[in-house]
């Protein structure tokens, strides 16, 4: 599919991305804002990491994103690189010199720790298991104030995975909770929103204080706020870009640009910068930690 470079600013309108909490009001698209704030609690240690999705394509887009990631890593090393899936294309699921060892050479030499989600293209081979070191389709890990849960959205109705998700979130003691998976719950892209993710997973995200959900599959940058939870699609890691073609009253941003995310998590929340290959910023967002409901 041809790359689409133009951003689409999405206004409030009819929602085509399935059910959400009743009474949710639209809000305008915003960039970074500054206002007077009361004294904040100590933030403590900061976890600095990167996120990219839909990336192992082997073209110029992947190479340019990775070069910028390496420049960021040299300035301040990433604790890990989290992916939102579709790690390897051409051939699907298989890590090759063309889609991994050459374009990702600077990250490989730096010894970054990969924390991948499995996308639909990854099911065709074992590259996510062998090259990125993760055989599990769903898993969790902690880093300082951060609890990360990685899910398999290729099988969102799996009962064992749902029990794992509920149990993990219910027992999480870290103040900042992030969930990552491939096929998006909310999106404006060519691939439709995931109704099963909305029905089974989103209520748990709201109940158990998830601050941020990271998604892929649609090759663009998107941000939504649904029921107090921020959803970011980061699918601009290297594969051909997709346009924003749907409408949702939850939308804050949607733009078809190559990018990756730089994240800084502390005890009070997480800051996300969406960075383009040339270093320009799509946006910077501060997301507060959320308490468990009830």
Q: Is the pLDDT of residue 20 over 90?
A: no
Please give the Cα distance from 129 to 52 (Å, whole number). 17
Mean pLDDT calculated for residue range 137-162 = 98
Quote the tokens at residue 189: 């892209």
Cα-based distances in Å from 82 to 51, 136, 214, 257, 275: 5, 14, 9, 19, 15
| CA 203 to each of CA 109, 149, 162, 185, 282: distance values in angstroms, whole numbers, following the listed order | 41, 15, 12, 12, 29
- In the predicted model, is pLDDT for residue 13 greater than 60? no
Helices (H), the chain: 60-75, 105-110, 127-130, 159-171, 195-196, 202-207
Mean pLDDT of 206-233: 98
Q: Residues 244, 191: contact at Cβ < 8 Å?
A: no
96/44: higher pLDDT: 96
pLDDT computed for residue 293 by the predictor: 86
Residue 176 has pLDDT above 80, yes or no: yes
Give the model's confidence band at 264: pLDDT under 50 very low, under 70 low, under 90 confident, else very high: very high
Which pLDDT belongs to residue 9? 38
Range 38-48 burial, b when 16+ CB lie within 10 A, else e:
eeeeeeeebbb
Average pLDDT over residues 11-16: 36
pLDDT above 70 coverage of the chain, percent? 85
Nearest-angstrom CA–CA distance, 87 and 40: 38
Write down all domains in the chain, each with its CATH number in brackets: 47-288 (3.60.21.10)
**pLDDT over threshold 80, residue 7:** no
Q: What is the mean pLDDT of residues 84-112?
A: 98
pLDDT at 271 over 60: yes
Q: Tokens in use for 80?
A: 């890990």
pTM of the shown model: 0.87
Whether the per-residue pLDDT at 103 is higher than 80: the answer is: yes
């Amino acid at each position: 599919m041809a790359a689409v470079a133009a951003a689409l600013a999405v206004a409030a309108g009819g929602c085509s991305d399935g059910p959400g909490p009743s009474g949710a009001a639209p809000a305008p698209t915003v960039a970074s804002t500054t206002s007077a704030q009361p004294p904040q609690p100590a933030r403590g240690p900061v976890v600095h990491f990167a996120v990219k999705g839909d990336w192992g394509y082997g073209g110029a887009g992947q190479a340019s994103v990775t070069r910028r990631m390496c420049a960021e890593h040299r300035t301040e090393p990433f604790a890990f690189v989290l992916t939102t899936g579709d790690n390897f294309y051409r051939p699907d699921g298989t890590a090759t010199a063309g889609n991994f060892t050459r374009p990702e050479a600077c990250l490989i030499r730096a010894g970054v720790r990969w924390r991948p989600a499995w996308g639909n293209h990854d099911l065709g081979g074992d590259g996510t298991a062998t090259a990125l070191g993760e055989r599990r389709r769903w898993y969790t890990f902690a880093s300082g104030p951060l609890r990360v849960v990685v899910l398999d959205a290729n099988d969102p109705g799996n009962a064992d995975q749902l029990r794992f998700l509920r149990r993990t979130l219910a027992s999480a003691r870290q103040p900042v909770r992030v969930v990552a998976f491939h096929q998006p719950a909310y999106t404006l892209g060519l691939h439709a929103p995931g109704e099963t993710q909305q029905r089974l997973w989103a209520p748990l995200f709201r109940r158990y204080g998830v601050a941020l959900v990271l998604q892929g599959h649609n090759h663009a940058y998107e941000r939504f706020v649904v029921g107090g939870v921020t959803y970011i699609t980061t699918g601009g890691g290297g594969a051909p870009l997709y346009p924003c073609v749907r409408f949702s009253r939850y939308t804050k941003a949607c733009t078809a640009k190559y990018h990756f995310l730089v994240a800084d998590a502390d005890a009070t929340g997480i800051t996300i910068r969406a960075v383009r290959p040339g270093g320009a910023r799509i946006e910077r967002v501060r997301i507060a930690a959320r308490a468990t409901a009830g």
